[in-house]
Amino acid sequence: MVKTLLKSIREYKLPSLLSPLFMVGEVAMEVLIPTVMAGLIDQGVKQSSMQSVLLQGLLLVLCAAASLTFGVLSAYMASKAGTGFAKNLRQDMYYKVQTYGFSNIDKFSPSSIVTRLTTDVANIQQAFQVSIRMAIRCHMMLILALVMAFRISPRLCIVYCVVLPLLAVGLFSIIGMVRKIFDRVFKTYDKLNNVVQENLHGVRVVKSFVREDYETKKFTGVSESIYQDFCKAEQILAFNNPLMQLSVYTCILVISYVGAKLVLASGDNASLGLTTGQLSSMFTYTTQILNGLMMLSMVFVMITMSRASMERAYEILKETPDLSNPARPVMEVKDGAIDFESVSFRYSRAAGKNALEKIDLHIKPGMTVGILGGTGASKSTLVQLIPRLYDATEGSVKVGGVDVRQYDMEVLRDAVAMVLQKNVLFSGTIKENLRWGNPNATDEELVHACRLACADDFVRSFPDGYDTYIEQGGSNVSGGQKQRLCIARALLKKPKILILDDSTSAVDTHTDARIRKAFREEIPGTTKLIIAQRVASVQDADLIVVLEGGKIADLGTHQELLQASPIYREVYESQTKGDA
């Protein structure tokens, strides 16, 4: 997992290496300062030597300046490396998501992916910066300070041998208790983001049903859960400081008592015991040693907190796309012929039954095919197999006489345009949205596509025309206008196959008829598949497919189905009875 994540460092390897290197320099200077202070006291103050005071004082200033310089450089490099690593990791995760098939995306909720790309990456960035800076600092501080302390007085250092193991056991016990809480917290974050996302997407439904209080309580419940978990974690972590203070002051008291006796016994003769300056430096080394251990425990806490985030980011990166290009993909779609040959499909192995069962359907290029069926008949599932958004579980789907699994996916999907019932417009101008279909489309081509989709009139009615800004999600245009803009966007692809998945449900029957007439006259060579709830939307089709329970119940033209299909006849009569 760590190896995979660290691949995102890439061009930031140098600052990632320089930061710990500079940190070693900073710690070395900090550890050297108490020794210089001991020399200043023993050789300068005690012996009333102004020359020694000046010399040791100058050395002290140089050590402090060097420590400051190394510290600033280390912090700068760590910041550069950390932010660069997070940028690359976020990009790698986002690019990976773009390679997913629908079945891969189904494994992760949108709110979970958002959390992983934001909160989790921020936690990993923080852990990375801590690892290349603070983790190096605490280890080096602990080791170098211990070495210097033992160099001064091995007898006094016995107190460290007693206190340090006890402190380490206490600190790491605290970490063990906190770890489980943080694992739970990040899963709760997913729920929180999901609640927010659902509320914002469905805000009109929430307000129309006057369910603001219910949504507020739901959000408050999840937020309260996060609050309680963090409070519990902080309560446990709060024991860190008292435990640390107890250890520090215990060491200082023991060293003060024993050290003072050694100083008095030696008479400031270092060869006999301990000098005043050495005792003073021992106090500083005691603080450095125990602070190093304290920092080490906090580093482990930080890494523990980010461990769950690392695993969640790794899940995104290690996910293998269910759909991939073959070794030698076909790079051209000959025409819009579509063939379903004994196709069965289920969304996952765990699914209880197939969504589609033994579908045999053959569509010639340029045909207009209507698809009717009740809710849950798998109409959308059927057409999603054509651009290979999913792969058939059994059988094969062919486009232009070639199995869709043999095509380069980009080539195949460029030849197929889909317009969904729940259309999506992106923030930007109408022109920018239309050019999703063809980035190189001219203004004349944009207008022509909008005329075919019956969108030109209402676009020109806007003060800014085709330069009108579309808000996020197309919230400033009506449902029917949004559908027509999406149809125009699809037409700009000049596809060999055009799929309309109930995409005229929000337009009136007159406009629907005008759009179908434009299709017949302007794009006769394009194969058109129209999923609709209204019989009027498909009755002029060359072939109408009636689906029921994931199977083809009937096939034929409008007149043939009126004679032979009870399902089609019932739907037709129920929709035309009011007109009679």
Residue 269, pLDDT above cutoff 70: no
Pairs from 100-104 (Cβ < 8 Å, separation ≥ 24):
100/319, 100/321, 100/322, 101/321, 101/322, 101/323, 101/389, 101/390, 101/391, 102/384, 102/389, 102/390, 103/322, 103/347, 103/348, 103/390, 104/319, 104/321, 104/322
Residues 371 and 531 sit within 8 Å (Cβ to Cβ): yes
Q: By C-alpha distance, which of 170, 163, 142, 165 is closest to 238?
A: 170
Given a cut of 70, whether residue 273 has pLDDT beyond it is no
Structure confidence by residue, pLDDT tens digits, 432-456 = 999 988 888 899 999 999 998 899 9
Cβ proximity of 278 and 42 under 8 Å:
yes
Location of structure tokens 């579309």: 470
Position 268 pLDDT exceeds 80:
no
In whole angstroms, give the CA distance from residue 536 to residue 579.
Answer: 12
DSSP 3-state of 37: helix
Which pLDDT does position 48 carry in this prediction? 66
> Quick one: average pLDDT of 69-79?
91
| Residue range 425-437: mean pLDDT, rounded | 89
Length of the chain counted residue by residue = 580
Q: What is the pLDDT of residue 47?
A: 62
Q: What is the pTM of this model?
A: 0.68
- C-alpha separations of 328 from 331, 405, 407, 408 in Å: 9, 11, 9, 8
Report which of 105, 506, 551, 147 is spatially closest to residue 323, judged by C-alpha positions: 105
- Give yes or no for residue 577 having a pLDDT over 50: yes
The C-alpha atoms of residue 249 and residue 35 are separated, in whole angstroms, by 21
Higher pLDDT, residue 253 or 560 = 560
pLDDT for 272 equals 46
Measured at the CA of 409, the angle between CA 404 and CA 415, to 5 degrees, comes to 80
Half-sphere exposure of 220 (CA within 13 A, CB side): 6
Residue 16 has pLDDT above 80, yes or no: yes
Q: In this predicted structure, what is the pLDDT of residue 49?
A: 66
What was the pLDDT predicted at 542? 92
Q: Which residue has the higher pLDDT, 180 or 87?
A: 87
Q: pLDDT (tens digit, 9 = 90+) per residue, 182-203?
A: 767 767 777 777 777 777 767 7
According to the model, what pLDDT value does residue 166 have?
A: 82
389 near 547, Cβ under 8 Å?
A: no
Contact 157, 146 (CB under 8 A): yes
pLDDT top residue among 435 and 508: 435
Say how far apart CA 562 and CA 580 lie, in whole Å: 17
Query: What's the whole-number average pLDDT of the chain?
Result: 84
DSSP state of 339: E
Residue 67 or 308, more confident: 67
* pLDDT: which is higher, 452 or 135: 452
- 447 contacts 434 by C-beta, under 8 angstroms: no
Closest CA relative to residue 547, chosen from 528, 532, 526: 532
**Residues contacting residue 242 through CB under 8 Å, at least 6 positions apart:** none
Q: In what order do the strands lie in the sheet with 497-501?
A: 416-419, 497-501, 527-531, 368-373, 543-548, 551-556
Percent of the chain with pLDDT over 90: 24
363 has pLDDT over 90: yes
Instruction: Show the tokens assigned to 436.
Output: 């999703």
With a pLDDT cut of 70, the percent of the chain lying above it is 95
Q: What is the Cα–Cα distance from 422 to 123, expressed in whole angstroms?
A: 35
Helix count and strand count (H, E) for the chain: 21, 12
